[in-house]
Amino acid sequence: MRKHNFSAGPAALPDAVLRQAQEEFRDWNNTGASVMEHSHRGEHFLQVATEAENDLRNLLDISDDYAVLFMHGGATAQFAAIPLNLLGTAKTANYLESGHWSRRAIKEAEIYCQPNIVAQLNNNKQGINLPPIAQWRIDDKAAYFHCVYNETIDGLELESFPDVNMPLLVDCSSNILSRPMPVERFSVIYAGAQKNIGPAGLAVVIIRRDLLDRAHPLTPSILNYGTVATAKSMHNTPPTFAWYLSGLVFKWLLAEGGLLAMQEKNKRNAASLYETIDSVDLYSNNLAKSVRSKMNIPFLLADERLNKPFLEQADENGLLGLKGHRSVGGMRASIYNAVPIESVQVLVAFMRTFAKEHG
């Protein structure tokens, strides 16, 4: 029996996609071999690769001004690829520090430059929040502006982006494809696959083509955006199975009604979880309402000693992956595209019953 999966990443995949992959696992498209056993340069896999890119372009409405890259190494490889490719002669780059993953991006950037931290989290009576954009200290001479759209661990999703006179780069690892987004607003959009796209091992990078030729001469070729773009993401052997499965997810999203349909479902799921957390005394979420994530919802129990029984009983009720990140504690429900409304209904009902029994 498959359980209701709230894992943060690797995370739930659509059941229909897993079934299809299972059906064609050993003999794919009547080729007599699995997709993993074909050359990445053969006509069969090339078709998978092309369709995946086209379907992603359709879903996000990506214009031809952008290249779409399928790269190795998850989002963490991009933390290095970005300064290597985009610093140019600048000594600094702007980084918004909105939580765990922006700190990881900053730490990697420190190898290559002196990042300028434009703003950090504060905690006032509205809860954990960022200062208003007008107060951010943006360095106009920096090479670019980097931010994390959705902080997967902290549960903070940006409300808006600053107008800057430099490339605006965004890590969308945990909220890409959760709803439509204005691609043209950004110079680089990137995401590790294992949250809202497909299996781990792959990152999608959407990059304005005029930024493809700026890499530092010491950039490793597999991290060089220009090299990867010219080779159509096949400078070396790509993670073919992850690419194929991500392609199946894109087709599933299109069949489900695209990103507007996902937005509707995700909004409903987030609203019913926050409503439960806010109305039941046992639970709390300490982020300012305006920046609460619609994808990763952390919550604390009023008494830490209840964490263990909560997780045990959740598991008995078929609810998986609710333990919060060790740096934050408590619980976290990740409600990506593949998490259906019924799963959140089961979770909410469980949370209310648990609170009645332990409140």
Ligand X SMILES: *Cc1c(COP(=O)(O)O)cnc(C)c1O
Binding residues vs ligand X (CB under 6 A): 9, 74-76, 101, 148, 152, 171, 173-174, 192, 195
| Least distance between ligand X and beta carbon 298 (Å) | 13
**Phi-psi bin for 70: left (phi > 0), alpha (psi -120 to 50), beta?**
beta
| Least distance between ligand X and beta carbon 181 (Å) | 15
Q: Which residue is nearest to ligand X (CB)?
A: 74
Facing residues of 147 across strands?
170
Residue 288 corresponds to which tokens in the numbers above? 């300012």
Residue 25 corresponds to which tokens in the numbers above? 């696992």
Q: Is the peptide bond before 10 cis (omega within 30 degrees of 0)?
A: yes
Q: Which is nearer to ligand X, 157 or 348 (CB)?
A: 157
- 323: which DSSP letter? B
Q: Which is nearer to ligand X, 9 or 298 (CB)?
A: 9
| Least distance between ligand X and beta carbon 40 (Å) | 21
Q: Which is nearer to ligand X, 53 or 171 (CB)?
A: 171
| Least distance between ligand X and beta carbon 23 (Å) | 28
* Catalytic site positions: 101, 171, 195
Residue of 206, 179, 180, 191 lying closest to 242 (CA atoms): 191
- 211: which DSSP letter? G
Residues 76, 63: Cα–Cα separation, whole Å:
26
Q: Which is nearer to ligand X, 70 or 101 (CB)?
A: 101
| Least distance between ligand X and beta carbon 74 (Å) | 2
Q: Which is nearer to ligand X, 171 or 350 (CB)?
A: 171
127 to each of 97, 156, 290, how far by Cα in Å? 17, 11, 10
Residue of 320, 317, 325, 319 lying closest to 296 (CA atoms): 325
Q: Which is nearer to ligand X, 280 or 298 (CB)?
A: 298
Listing from the earlier edge strand, what are the strands of the sheet with 188-192? 66-72, 202-208, 188-192, 168-171, 145-148, 94-96, 116-119
CA-angle at 172, arms to 170 and 175, nearest 5°: 145
| Least distance between ligand X and beta carbon 171 (Å) | 5
At position 266, the amino acid (one-letter code) is N
Residues 143, 110: Cα–Cα separation, whole Å:
14
Where are any strands of DSSP class E within 73-175?
Answer: 94-96, 116-119, 122-124, 127-129, 145-148, 150-151, 156-157, 168-171
